[in-house]
Amino acid sequence: MRVEAVELRRCQLPLREVFRTSYGVERTRDVLLVRVRTDVGDGWGECGAPAAPGYTDETVEVAHRALRDRLVPALGGHDVHLDGLDAVLDGSCDTPMARAALELALIDALLRAGNQSVAHWLGATRTRVPAGIALGVEATIDDSLARVAGAVDAGYRRVKLKIEPGRDVAVLDAVRAAFPDLALQADANGAYRGDDIEHLRAIDAARLQCIEQPFPADDLAAHAALARAIATPVCLDESIRSSSDAARAIDMAACSVVNVKAARVGGLLEARRLHDACVEREVPVWCGGMLDTGIARAANVALAALPGFTIPGDVSGSDRWFDVELTQPLRLDDDGCIRVPNGVGIGVDVDGDAIESCTESSEVLPVSPRRS
């Protein structure tokens, strides 16, 4: 496949609800979409990078520049194949979200041309995956209880609550009391410090499936110390940028669960390697997401259908965050699962009119037929 041009689109999508985490508050999603135009057809990808630094330093501006100045020009003169993507996209790990977006667009185009779905290509072993939802930090415990009740009513099989110092144990205990059998997780996005371990011991009472990323990404020692101090499994997200990061963290007992997020590790290929590394070490994984539109969501649902994903992840319907949907919808069925999309490419068709309606800016970058 020869890439002839790459279109970078910035779309503005208002969130259906204000989303608060320990990093800050989000009201609108400034999402960067990537469309590759090739000699065998088009493909779409989505960049998970946020508007402001926090979850990662790779903001949407940083990712946009990396694509425009480095990743897209590097496609020049290459014949692109599914088994040669790492070579074409090599050297891009300092901007994994940009890399993941371009990789997904290339995979989408190649699989559409080859009449194959991403789920089949990845090695999915399930046709449906249980849906989970991530809920933000709320002002009061009652507000959190109302949000959890709404998620349970909507059919979600597992609920993850964002927590931070001052809004943690009491909220989780209240939710547990109201929903004794609910599969429950907590995500601190690195908001605690090593001397909070004594406080975090109290979290065991909530019987969580895991506590995710309590400490900053580079503090594996604190995670290992907490894992020794509590019964709740410790899960890592921001700390794991690659399959080798996961191997190191597991070997030092810093986690016993891993959040696999394609955007964070540079794309689906590394996400699958991360999954494989965890399966090899008998560590369960679940599928995380960003504030995804249907494009990234479809790929994530396919990823979550791999055999090692034994815990429900942040795999919600494609209407979770936005009123405007950019693809065919992905919805929860009656028992709280999402059907793995089995169309060609990412599995769903994109809605060009919907994308156009929310596009703020776009640029088309021609790709040179010769190597730069």
- For Mg ion, which is the closer residue by CB, 43 or 312? 312
Query: Strand 128-130 relative to strand 337-339: parallel, antiparallel, unpaired?
Result: antiparallel
Q: Is 33 helix (H, G, I), strand (E, B) or coil?
A: strand
Strand partners, 365: 6
Contact stretch for Mg ion (CB under 5 A) within 152-160, 192-200, 201-209, 233-241: 233-241
CB atoms within 10 A of CB 357: 11
- For Mg ion, which is the closer residue by CB, 42 or 237? 237
Closest contact distance (angstroms) between CB of 91 and Mg ion is: 27
Closest contact distance (angstroms) between CB of 213 and Mg ion is: 5
CB 310 within 8 A of CB 287: no
Contact stretch for Mg ion (CB under 5 A) within 20-28, 202-210, 237-245, 331-339: 237-245
Query: Of 162, 264, 272, 275, which one is the catalytic site residue?
Result: 162
Closest contact distance (angstroms) between CB of 190 and Mg ion is: 9
- For Mg ion, which is the closer residue by CB, 54 or 343? 54
Q: Is 202 helix (H, G, I), strand (E, B) or coil?
A: helix
Residues ≥6 apart with Cβ < 8 Å to 7: 34, 35, 36, 37, 362, 363, 364, 365
CB 326 within 8 A of CB 293: yes
Q: Taking CB under 5 A as the rule, which mask of x and - marks residues 50-79 in contact with Mg ion?
A: ------------------------------
Residue 7: its H or E element: strand 3-21
Contact stretch for Mg ion (CB under 5 A) within 183-191, 243-251, 268-276, 317-325: 183-191
Pair of tokens at residue 169: 């144990």
Query: Strand 183-187 relative to strand 158-162: parallel, antiparallel, unpaired?
Result: parallel
- For Mg ion, which is the closer residue by CB, 71 or 255? 255
Residues ≥6 apart with Cβ < 8 Å to 292: 46, 48, 300, 318, 320, 321
d(CA 321, CA 336): 17
Closest contact distance (angstroms) between CB of 19 and Mg ion is: 13
Closest contact distance (angstroms) between CB of 237 and Mg ion is: 4
State yes or no: residue 168 binds Mg ion (CB under 5 A). no
State yes or no: residue 292 binds Mg ion (CB under 5 A). no
Closest contact distance (angstroms) between CB of 342 and Mg ion is: 28
Q: Which residue has the tokens 């496609």?
A: 75
Residues ≥6 apart with Cβ < 8 Å to 336: 130, 131, 155, 156, 157
Contact stretch for Mg ion (CB under 5 A) within 101-109, 234-242, 268-276, 292-300: 234-242
- For Mg ion, which is the closer residue by CB, 74 or 263? 263
- For Mg ion, which is the closer residue by CB, 219 or 351? 219
Query: Of 20, 147, 261, 320, which one is the catalytic site residue?
Result: 261
Q: Is 160 a catalytic residue?
A: no
Give CA torsion, residues 99, 186, 303, 307, to 10 deg: 140
User: Nearest CA to 353 among 328, 326, 330, 329?
Assistant: 326
Query: Strand 3-21 relative to strand 359-366: parallel, antiparallel, unpaired?
Result: antiparallel
d(CA 58, CA 99): 11
d(CA 279, CA 309): 9
Q: Is 261 a catalytic residue?
A: yes
**Number of residues this chain uses to bind Mg ion (CB under 5 A):** 2
State yes or no: residue 237 binds Mg ion (CB under 5 A). yes
Contact stretch for Mg ion (CB under 5 A) within 11-19, 57-65, 135-143, 236-244: 236-244
Closest contact distance (angstroms) between CB of 283 and Mg ion is: 16
Residue, CB closest to Mg ion? 237
* List 26, 168, 187, 270, residue binding Mg ion (CB under 5 A): 187
Pair of tokens at residue 339: 């059907």
- For Mg ion, which is the closer residue by CB, 130 or 288? 288
User: What positions carry a catalytic annotation?
Assistant: 162, 261
Q: Which residues contact Mg ion (rule: CB under 5 A)?
A: 187, 237
